[in-house]
Amino acid sequence: QVLLEASGPRLVKPSETLSLSCTVSGDSVSSSSFYWTWLRQAPGKGLEWIGFVFHTGTTNLNPSLEGRVTISIDRSNNQFSLKLNSVTAADTATYYCAREGRRGYDISGYNVWGQGSQVIVSS
Amino acid sequence: DIQLTQSPSSLSASVGDRVTITCRASQTVSDYLNWYQHTPGQAPKLLIYTASTVKLGVPSRFSGTGSGTRFTLTISSLQPEDVGTYFCHQSYSVPRTFGQGTRVEI
């Protein structure tokens, strides 16, 4: 069974950096079959794709986040991480890590999700 | 960015009713369209991928059709445990995008 577990501070001050890590068990972030993904859902809003990292370390990020976001992979700890700089109240959301299958390699779509981490941006 | 528009935004139906939710894309996504169920306090669950493939373990009352820009999710006989928000998601291009969701109530 594949499990994703997100961890990191749940309260971040405005202008600071939001940092979350997602630990993968039952699978390897070195697998070429998946895109390791971060998403978020602000209160009362729909889901927003933040971006993903491939096993090579290559990333694809949402331009709407204006260069504030970094997603990286840590093969030694079987984790991938999210950093979001210069946060404001608008970044308050539930953050999810998820595994997206590459078409032709595995089930496409987000077949495995972390439990969701509610992060509040407030002084 | 590809916009996904769902309709209706909410619906109320009786147990046993047939329920249909539509997702329209602003440009073609081929069959790279997935459906999820989201209930409060839980992570979303994948129901259908590549427009019409029902994920293993998902009840057979769920089905999906469509290609290009118009897709539907159907629940053939609504059950109490089907309450929640359903949303579509395109994995055709980046940035990945989602429908705004359809809230289903009994």
Mutation test of the interface with chain A: which of B9, B58, B91, B97, choosing the one with the most A Cβ atoms within 10 A?
Answer: B91
Residue B101 CB partners (closer than 8 Å, separation 6+): A46, B6, B9, B38, B85, B86, B87
Per-residue pLDDT of chain A (123 residues; tens, 9 = 90+): 999 999 999 999 999 999 999 999 999 999 999 999 999 999 999 999 999 999 999 999 999 997 899 999 999 999 999 999 999 999 999 999 999 999 888 888 999 999 999 999 999
Q: What is the pLDDT of residue A11?
A: 98
**Residue B23, both tokens:** 């997702």
SS3 B37: strand
Size of interface A-B (CB pairs under 8 A): 58
B98 to A48: CB separation less than 8 angstroms, yes or no: yes
A109 to B49: CB separation less than 8 angstroms, yes or no: yes
CA distance B37 to chain A (A): 12
User: Phi and psi for B66 in degrees, rounded to 5?
Assistant: 120, 165
Reported as a single tens digit per residue, the pLDDT across B48-95 is 999 999 999 999 999 999 999 999 999 999 999 999 999 999 999 999
Nearest CA-CA partner of A45 in B38, B48, B26, B51: B38
Q: What is the pLDDT of residue A2?
A: 95
Instruction: Choose the closest CB to A108 out of B36, B91, B100.
Output: B91
SS3 B80: helix
Nearest CA-CA partner of A98 in A111, A88, A89, A85: A111
* Inter-CA distances, B96 with A10, A11, A61, A96, Å: 25, 27, 10, 14
